[in-house]
Amino acid sequence: MSNHIQLKIITPEKKVFDESVDSVTLPTEDGEITVLPGHIPLISALTSGDIVARQDGHEIPFAVVGGFVEVDNGKEAGIIVLADFAEHVGDISDTVIAEAEKRAAEIRTMKEHATDVDFEHFEAELERSLTRVKIADKWRKKKYK
């Protein structure tokens, strides 16, 4: 059995990450889980939060909003995350955080005057903006890869 597992994080826009890692911690609807090589197969819905991959003693954090994770230990053993939104914390600059905070405030105001159809769109955008800010703040002072 290998000491590594392949992690792929994919959004509708792009492949965010595709590397071999030692472990991965994910925010699922049933709570936070950590997946190690040899983990039993599973499929679970993800919640907003951070995915933390560990590779050679380093933490690699990502902000994530919604989606699913599949763990497969078969022939192509690995973890596939299909996320509505995912971004490496290192890509969330102060400018991006400021824009996300501004956008969240705008969305809150727009939401008050929105129709039911627009509400889901506004809610998804708001969650994405707030998650970016929350996860970036959490990891800002920590050392990560």
Angstrom CA distances, 64 to 77, 88, 93, 107, 133, stand at 22, 9, 16, 19, 12
Angle at 123 between CA 67 and CA 13, to 5 degrees: 45
**Model pTM?**
0.79
What confidence score (pLDDT) does residue 111 get? Answer: 61
Of 43, 52, 29, the residue nearest 72 (C-alpha): 43
Angstrom CA distances, 23 to 35, 100, 142, stand at 6, 30, 18
Question: Would the pLDDT of 137 be above 90?
Answer: no
Question: Would the pLDDT of 8 be above 60?
Answer: yes
Average pLDDT, integer, range 32-55: 94
Separation of alpha carbons 38 and 87, rounded Å? 26
Average pLDDT, integer, range 9-37: 95
**120 vs 124, residue with greater confidence:** 124
Percent of the chain with pLDDT strictly greater than 90: 51
**89 vs 9, residue with greater confidence:** 9
41-45, 53-57, 103-107, range with the lowest pLDDT: 103-107
9-13, 42-46, 119-123, 130-134, range with the lowest pLDDT: 119-123
**101 vs 32, residue with greater confidence:** 32
Separation of alpha carbons 16 and 38, rounded Å? 23
What is the residue-averaged pLDDT of the chain? 84
What confidence score (pLDDT) does residue 62 get? Answer: 95
pLDDT-derived band at 121 (thresholds 50, 70, 90) equals low
What confidence score (pLDDT) does residue 99 get? Answer: 76
